């Protein structure tokens, strides 16, 4: 699992090996969520509103 996280995050394996199990689990979960979002065509972490809400326009 250390190698997979290293490849997915770009963090050196020796640094991942120093993390506690909870941190590794959290990192793996976030990567999994990102991959699921990308698979569904939704950008992750871009601040964009999903298309089902339409395009919000600010009036001013």
Segment 17-39, tens digit of pLDDT: 888 888 888 888 888 888 888 88
- pLDDT for the residue numbered 60: 45
Contact 33, 45 (CB under 8 A): no
Enter the DSSP assignment of 45.
S
Size of the chain, expressed as the number of residues it contains: 60
Q: What is the pTM of this model?
A: 0.51
């Amino acid at each position: 699992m250390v190698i997979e996280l290293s490849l997915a995050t770009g963090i050196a394996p020796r640094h991942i090996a120093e993390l506690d199990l909870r941190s590794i689990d959290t990192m793996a979960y976030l990567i999994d969520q990102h991959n699921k979002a990308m698979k569904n065509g939704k950008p992750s972490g871009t601040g964009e509103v999903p298309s089902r809400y339409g395009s919000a326009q600010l009036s001013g």
